[in-house]
Amino acid sequence: MDFKAQMILEEYDAAYESLKIQKEIIDKALNKIVREHDMFINSVESRIKKRDSLEGKLERKGYKYASLSDLTDLVGARVVTFYTDEVDKFAGIISDVFEIDWENTVDKRKLHDVDRFGYMSLHYICRIPKSLYNDEKHPLVNELRFELQMRTALQHVWASIYHDTGYKSDVEIPRESLRTLSSLAGLLELADKQFSELRFNLTEYRRVVKSLVESGNLNDVELNADSFREYLGMGHFLILSERIAKINNMEITMVSTTPYLIALKKMNILTLGQLDEIFKSYADDAYTLAVKAFSDTDIDIMTSTTALYYLLITYILKAGGGEVGVGLFLGLIYGERKSNARQAKRICEIARKSGVLKE
């Protein structure tokens, strides 16, 4: 190793404490961004380049560096997102937090070869501004640059596999293996784009559903997990739940509505308009049935689906389903149980006593 490289290593040893501080500040800043902007991130990680790694780099490329400050990756950080658009979103925020060395920053997504999917990261070369940290004892924290990579989870996985195969080694890779790598790179790049498009389409769909629900155009809304959730969150349905809870001053505990969604579809209730019509027609009777069911008990906890339970049972009874219909409904909600028939019989007795079910 030449004299210049040895001097850089000595600078590295002297600067190590500043590098540790720099890494700590970067970690805090990146995690703060994720927290404050409510971002769905796969991982945030950082590292200080090890001395032996720096030594190897200087042996290979020492001619490029006159001093330690010429190196831009002594501290490296990586943000791994799930979606391609999140990379750009994070990058936009980063420029408000760190000083960006635009001259040396590289968007490798615009430069990659056909088989280099995993290296499509956005690489920023940054400095920590004095507004983020300022200590005269450690000026290098602000002076030394660091590298920040931003990439998707699929890009990160590919880069790891790419590195593990030894593709960057001096050993020539057979053409057939190169073809396979290129094909896989294309598949992963397509998957990355499709995941982002899928999320965008689902977000847009949910926005439209919410708008339709709020506007009252419920006949145009297919009954599915998203629309069902929006409907159950509407004021009038919450009011019914709260009315039932007040019967015994019951606490409401949250449970999954998925069994009810499945049951509704089995009952051929396929739009929110149909469900809303049931609510308008039978909500009062459902409340009456619940009053009779709870009034002679000391039950002090009910589930978040209790109102839906009594509403659909009332609908079945009013439609002439009787004990058989209620029993089939219980089977859809709870699965096949020996107690379903007994419970259906008891519900029908309560319905008759409350006047919900006429003799």
> pLDDT of 33-77, one tens digit each?
999 998 889 999 999 999 999 999 988 887 888 999 999 999 999
pLDDT for the residue 174? 72
Contact 146, 126 (CB under 8 A): yes
Q: Which domains does the chain have, with CATH numbers?
A: 3-189 (3.30.460.10), 218-354 (no CATH)
pLDDT at residue 249, as a whole number: 93
| Residue at 65: amino acid letter | Y
DSSP letter assigned to residue 76:
E
CA dihedral 169, 173, 177, 182 (to 10 degrees): 60
**What are the Cα distances from residue 252, in Å, to 238, 249, 305, 306, 342?**
11, 10, 9, 9, 26
Give me the residue label for tokens 């999917």.
117
User: Cα Rg for the chain, rounded, in angstroms?
Assistant: 31
Q: Mind listing the pLDDT tens digit for each residue in 136-169?
A: 999 999 999 999 999 999 888 887 777 666 555 5
Q: Look up the pTM and report it.
A: 0.62
Residue-wise pLDDT for 220-262, tens only, equals: 889 998 888 888 887 788 899 999 999 999 999 999 999 999 9
**Mean pLDDT, residues 316-326 taken together:** 94
Q: What is the mean pLDDT of residues 288-312?
A: 93
Mean pLDDT, all residues of the chain: 88
**Are 240 and 260 in contact, with CB atoms under 8 Å apart?**
no
The 10s digit of each residue's pLDDT in 258-286 is 999 999 999 999 999 999 999 999 999 99
pLDDT at 31 over 90: yes
Distance CA 9, CA 248 (A): 75
Burial class of residue 281, CB neighbours in 10 A (0-12, 13-18, 19+) = middle
> Would you state the pLDDT for residue 112?
53
Which pLDDT score is estimated for 221?
Answer: 86
Residue 163, pLDDT score:
67
Residue 310 · residue 289 · CB < 8 Å: yes
Residue 171 above 70 pLDDT? no
Q: What is the DSSP letter of 81?
A: E
- Residue 32 near residue 41, CB atoms below 8 Å: no
The two structure tokens encoding residue 300: 């002090």
pLDDT in tens, 184-225: 777 888 888 888 888 888 788 778 777 777 777 788 889 998
Relative orientation angle of helices 225-232 and 258-266, to the nearest 10 degrees: 110
> Count H helices, E strands: the chain?
13, 8
Which of 127, 70, 120, 131 is CA-nearest to residue 102? Answer: 127
